[in-house]
Amino acid sequence: MKASKMVDWTNDELNEKLGDMKGELFNLRFQLATGQLENPLRIREVKRDIARVKTILTQRELKLGTR
């Protein structure tokens, strides 16, 4: 997913998506361990999306001076 779309989301939406992505990553890793994963590149995509969401949240925190 593009970061430009994520920037438009609220913090609550970002946190919700972050939780969803972490759950998906867990499931993908479980499928990898059991040999059921069909698309191993999906793990990389989800990890990068998680990093994008965390980056956006951190930038907003620093912008607001809450750190």
Per-residue pLDDT of the chain (67 residues; tens, 9 = 90+): 788 888 889 999 999 999 999 999 999 999 999 999 999 999 999 999 999 999 999 999 998 876 5
| Contact criterion met (CB below 8 Å) for 12 and 60 | no
21: CB partners within 8 A, 6+ apart: 46, 49, 50, 53
Per-residue pLDDT, 59: 93
pLDDT at 6: 87
Termini Cα distance of the chain: 27
Per-residue pLDDT at 56: 94
Domains in the chain (CATH in brackets) are 3-64 (1.10.287.310)
Q: Is 30 exposed, middle or buried (0-12, 13-18, 19+ CB in 10 A)?
A: exposed
- Coil/strand/helix, residue 32: helix
Residue 66: its pLDDT value, please? 62
